[in-house]
Amino acid sequence: MCGRFALTTPIEVLRQAFGFVGPAPNLPARWNIAPTQSTPVIRRAESGGRELAALRWGLVPYWADSPSIGAKMINARAETVAEKPAFRAAFKARRCLVPADGFYEWPTRGDLASRQPVLFRRRDGGPFAFAGLWERWVPAAGGLIESFAIVSTAANEIMAQYHERVPVVLAPGDYAAWLDPAADARALLKAPPSDWFSAAAFQPMSTTCGMTTPAVSPRRSTSPRRRRSRHASRAPGRPTTVSRACSNARKRRAAP
DNA sequence: CCAGACGTTGTT
DNA sequence: GTCTGG
DNA sequence: CCAGACGTTGTT
DNA sequence: GTCTGG
């Protein structure tokens, strides 16, 4: 699946890769994008071109009573996305590209099982696009929430070493069809090509601390690692490691 | 008919 | 909004 | 995905 | 243990 991802590529590089037009903000490098956060997607604009827009991760269906349901709708299964009430309308008419340059999986298999996530990045470090769906939700009080989900599918043999499910990563040649409501999109929902990606063990993460290091090799140090405080200052362009004790995580590890 | 769900992943 | 379960 | 809550009544 | 919020 995909429960966290990274987007650190400069905006003009994204513009080149995904061909959107119009205004775009300068994006800060983000190594820990979490559900319910706002993050840019590329979608078809009313003009027909591609635009960049910041949407909330976790699709809130148009019929929802409350936006809280979006927290559960962070992924949509490729196998059923065309039929599920929460996703089918968006799948037909509102597909988007979700730009990223890394995604995390928490290993669940055998010896690798761990609470330490694995970061998958393209071998050339470049950006890629998840297959996304987006939706509009109008609160009773007025206003508008636009949100999205990332399509997931069965992992191929390589990635399945870590996790059974993976996000769909679109081939650049498929971007146009994915964004075209008239195209047959189901054929585009394939597992990411393993040879694009490399996997690296990662620091344990926290939502609140936000920033984490980029790729690191598996940790083997026997001495306790010195951690920076959550308030540590950060040199530009050099993400810091921020971690902290988590009593709940310890409890969960220990509990039956 | 109305009421209630509408989702995914992982775990034992 | 639309489907499923009672 | 992880972190953190997990509750009610009444008061301003 | 399980749900909600980020």
Q: Which residues share a beta bridge with A39?
A: A55
* Complete domains list, chain A, with CATH: 4-205 (3.90.1680.10)
Residue nearest to nucleotide B5 (CA to C1'): A85
Which chain D positions have some atom within 7 A of a protein CB? 1-5
Per the annotation, the verdict on A164 as an active-site residue is no
Q: Which nucleotide is nearest to A3 (CA to C1')?
A: D1
Task: Give the pLDDT band (50/70/90) at residue A214.
Answer: low
User: Given this model, what pLDDT does residue A245 score?
Assistant: 27
Q: Which nucleotide is nearest to A86 (CA to C1')?
A: B6
A138 CA → E4 C1’, Å: 21
What are the residues with a C-beta under 7 Å from any atom of nucleic chain B?
A 1, 61, 63, 65, 72-73, 75-77, 80-81, 84-87, 108, 113, 152, 163-165, 256
Distance CA A45, CA A65 (A): 27
CA distances from A73 to A2, A149, A176, A179, A196 (A): 11, 6, 25, 20, 27
Q: Which nucleotide is nearest to A36 (CA to C1')?
A: E6
CA-wise closest residue to A132 among A189, A51, A72, A206: A189
- Residue A238 region by backbone torsions, left for phi larger than 0, else alpha for psi between -120 and 50, else beta: beta
Q: Which nucleotide is nearest to A104 (CA to C1')?
A: D1
Is the model's pTM score more than 0.90?
no
Report the half-sphere exposure of A24 (CA within 13 A, side-chain side).
22
Distance CA A168, CA A91 (A): 14
Is this complex scored with an ipTM above 0.85?
A: yes
Per-residue pLDDT tens over the stretch A137-164: 999 889 999 999 999 999 999 999 999 9
User: Given this model, what pLDDT does residue A110 score?
Assistant: 62
User: Given this model, what pLDDT does residue A199 score?
Assistant: 93
Which chain E positions have some atom within 7 A of a protein CB? 1-2, 4-6
Which chain B positions have some atom within 7 A of a protein CB? 5-12
Per-residue pLDDT tens over the stretch A2-18: 999 999 999 999 999 99
CA-wise closest residue to A30 among A50, A57, A51, A59: A57
Per the annotation, the verdict on A105 as an active-site residue is yes
Residue nearest to nucleotide B12 (CA to C1'): A256
Per-residue pLDDT tens over the stretch A52-63: 999 999 999 999
